[in-house]
Amino acid sequence: MHHPTLSTGARALLAATVVAAATTVPLTVGPAAAAPTTTRQQQYAAAATEYGVPAVVLLGVSFLESRWDTNAGTPSTSGGYGPMHLTDARHVAALPGRGHHDAGAEDPRGDDSRAARVPAPRPVEPSAPAAAALQTVDAAATLTGATPEALRTDPGLNIRGGAALLGAYQRDLGAPVGAGTDPAAWYGAVARYSGADSADAAAAFADEVFTTIGAGESRVTDDGQRITLAARAVRPERSWLDRLGLRRLTRPDGVECPRTISCEWIPAPYEAFGEDYGNHDLSDRPARQKIEYIVIHDTEASWATTLQLVQDPTYVSWHYSLRSVDGHIAQHVKTKDVGWHAGNWYVNAKAIGLEHEGFAAQGTWYTEAMYRTSAKLVRHLALRLGIPLDRQHIIGHDNVPGTIPSTVRGMHWDPGPYWDWTHYFDLLHAPRLDTGTPATGMVRIDPDYATNRPALTDCVTVGVPCTPRGSSAVVLRSAPSADAPLVNDIALRPDGTPNTMVVSDHGARASAGQTYALAGRQGDWTAIWYLGQRAWFHNPTSAPTASWTVGVVATPKPGRTTIPVYGRAYPEQSAYPDGVPYQAISPLQYTLAAGQRYAVGAVLAGEYYRASTFDGSSPGDWTVIRGKNRYAQIQFGHRIMYVDLADVRLLPSPVGAPR
C-alpha cells in the first residue's frame, strides 16, 4: 500500500545518502582536477582507480543512468547531470509542478456522450521540501573538490564525482573498497546510488546494472566517444542490500507488473461525487473488449505531483506512473478498467496508459533506468494481451487522433520529439521487417537518434532555439529541398500556412518507427503520403533516416475521388440499442484522395464502449456496442487515423509504388 508520507521518499532517501556521504564517511577529499586523459574510456578507468571502485561497476552504473551520454550538459527530469546523473535540486525546483492533463483544451476522457472532463489547473506543489533532497552534486563536490558547476558540465569531472559517491557509499556500508575488489561486493553501493526509497526499487536498479555488466555494452556516446564495457560474469552479493535499511513494499496480489521490476499499488479512486464520478471507468477487458494500444505519455510534473493528481477523484487517470530517478512503477488502475488519459474515448476504451515522469521539452532528458523498466512493463503487458510490438499499437499520446474536427487542435503532443523510440523498441526486443527495397513502396522512419538534431525552438523560452540534442523526429517539407517550407497540417493551420519548428508543433514531422507509403524519390530526398499531400524528408544513402520495408496500404476504391478520414472507429447508427444515444461517425478535416496510399496498421471492428454512470444504471451501460462497420487503421500523419473499410482497397505495398 502507498504510504502518503513517502510520496517523495526517493528524494528523502537521497538526502540522507548525501548527508552521509558528505559528513559521516571518512574519505580523503580528492584533488580538484584529474590528470589529463585523452579518451572518455580512460576517464572512467582513472576515476575508478582514484576512488577505489571496480571499473566495471562504475561503467555499469553510468550506463544505467545515461548510457554514458552527456546530454549536452542539460539535466534529466530528476535534475541529474552528465554520464553519472549527479542530481541538483536547484534545477528540479524550477520545473513546472502541474500535470500535462491540466494544459490545453484536450478532454482526456474524450467521450462526446458526456460533458468534457477538462481538469482545472491545480496549484503548484511546494517544491522546496522534495527538491532539497536531490543534491548529490553537492556531495560529489565535497568529495572531489570540484565545483558543482564543473561537475554538471565537465564529463570527466562528472565521472569522478560519481566514482567518489560510489566509493563513499561502499565505505559507509563497511564493504571492501578498491579498484581490484570483487564487483559482487558492490551490490549495496550500487543499489544506494539509485536514489530509490524502497528495497524493491533499489534492488531492481542494482540487478539491471549487474545484468548490464554480465552482458557487456559498447556504443558511441552523443558527443562521439566510443565506450566499451567488456562482459564479465558476476554473481552479486545481494545481502549487502539489507544494510541500507530501506522499506519493503507490500505487493498485493493483482499488481500487473513483471517480478523483475519494482512496482506498487497506489489506486486511483473510483468515487461518486455530486452528479459526477471519477476518475476512470470500470470494465472487464480483454474479455469485454480487446486492448489494442499502449499509450506512452510524460507527466509534465514531478513524481510527487503525479501521485497527488492521480489519487484525486475529481481529476483524470492512467494505469501506471514511472519514476525518473530509478524507474520505479506505481499502478493506479487495473488493466481491465478504462483510464481517462488519451483524449479519445475509442482509444481509451482499447488502451493502457503509461505516464513517465518527464517533460516533452523543458530542456530535460529521460533516464535510462526509466526507459528500461518501462520497456519491461510494456513487453510484459503486450505479450500477455496479444498487442503487437510496433508503432501502430505502442503509440505516443502525440499519435492519438482527435475525435471530431473541433478537438484535433487541442490534442496533446507528449512524449515529444526527444523520446528515443528506436532505443525503446530495441529494449522491447520488438521484431523488425527490413527486407524491403525502394520498389516495395514503404518506408520506416529510422534516423540515428544521436546525430539527428532538428533545429527546434521554444523548449524553455518562446522564440529561443532548443539546445541541440538527439531526436526521433524527422522534419517534413513541401518540396525536396532544405529551403522548402514545411508541410501544412490543415487542422492545426486552417489558413494553409506551413507548420513551424516550434517544439510542440508536430504537424510537419514523422517519428522513428512509424511506417508510411512511399510517394516519390528525388536525389537525397524521399517523399511519403502524409495528411493528404506529399511530404519530403532528407534521406541520403550515405546517412539514411529511413529504412525500406513492406506491408499493406489503403487507397480509395476505383471511382472515389476522395474519401473521409476519422478519429475513431465507431459503429453505424443501426447498431445502437434503444435508449442509447447514437455516437455520430464524424469525419475529420482531412481527406484521402485517389492515387494516395497509407500504411495500414490494423483492421478493426466498429465499437463503442458505453459507460456513462457510476453504477452502470443507464441503458446499455458497461457494454460494447458493435456493428457491421469495419475500419482500417492508417498512419495518416503524425497521428494514426481510421478509414471505413468500405471506402478503400487494401493492397500489398509494392503495387503501384513509385520508384
Give me the CATH code for the 251-431 domain, please: 3.40.80.10
C-alpha cell recorded at residue 110: 474524450
Give CA–CA dist 383/370, Å, rounded: 20
What pLDDT is attached to residue 435?
A: 77
Residue 211's alpha-carbon distances to 60, 217, 281, 501, in angstroms, are 9, 11, 39, 40
Q: How far apart are CA 55 and CA 579, in angstroms?
A: 69
User: What pLDDT does residue 16 have?
Assistant: 35
CB neighbour list of residue 432: distance below 8 Å, 6 or more residues apart: none
Which triple of cell numbers denotes residue 492?
492545426
Instruction: Look up the pTM and report it.
Output: 0.92
> What would you report as the CA-atom Rg of the chain, rounded to the nearest whole angstrom?
25
Q: Which three cell numbers stand for residue 580?
A: 442509447
In CATH, the number for domain 4-88+134-244 is: 1.10.530
pLDDT at residue 358 in the model: 92
The beta strands (E) that lie in 61-155 are given as 80-81, 86-87
Q: Is 431 buried (19+), middle (13-18) or exposed (0-12) by CB count in 10 A?
A: exposed
In the chain, CATH 1.10.530 covers 4-88+134-244
Which segments of the chain have a pLDDT < 70? 1-37, 92-93, 96-97, 121-134, 655-659
| CA distance linking residue 66 with residue 70, whole number of Å | 8
Largest CA distance in the chain: 82
> Tens digits of per-residue pLDDT, 163-199?
999 999 999 999 999 999 999 999 999 999 999 989 9
User: Average pLDDT, whole number, for the chain?
Assistant: 90
pLDDT score of 31 = 41
Residues in the chain: 659
- Distance CA(6)–CA(12), nearest Å, equals 8
User: In angstroms, rounded to a whole number, what is the distance separating the alpha carbons of residues 374 and 419?
Assistant: 12
User: Which residue is associated with the grid cell 503525479?
Assistant: 306
Residue 596: the pLDDT is 97
pLDDT of residue 655: 66
Among the listed residues 294, 401, 400, 418, the one whose alpha carbon sits nearest the alpha carbon of residue 354: 294
Question: If you ran DSSP here, which 8-state letter would residue 21 be given?
Answer: I
Q: How many helices (H) and strands (E) does the chain have?
A: 15, 28
Measured CA to CA, the distance from residue 360 to residue 316 in angstroms comes to 20
Count of Cβ atoms closer than 10 Å to residue 193 Cβ: 29
All CATH 3.40.80.10 domain ranges of the chain, comma separated, are 251-431
* Amino acid 29: pLDDT: 38
How many other CB atoms are there within 10 angstroms of residue 233's CB atom? 7
- With a CB cutoff of 8 Å and minimum separation 6, the contacts of 114 are 612
Judge whether 22 and 139 are in contact, CB under 8 Å: yes
Cα–Cα nearest to 515, from 457, 430, 456 = 430
Instruction: Record the cell numbers describing residue 8, joined without a space.
Output: 517523495
Query: CA geometry: angle at 15 spanning 11 and 16, to 5°?
Result: 120
Classify residue 18 as exposed, middle or buried by CB count within 10 Å of its CB (0-12, 13-18, 19+): buried
Which amino acid does the sequence have at 537?
Answer: F
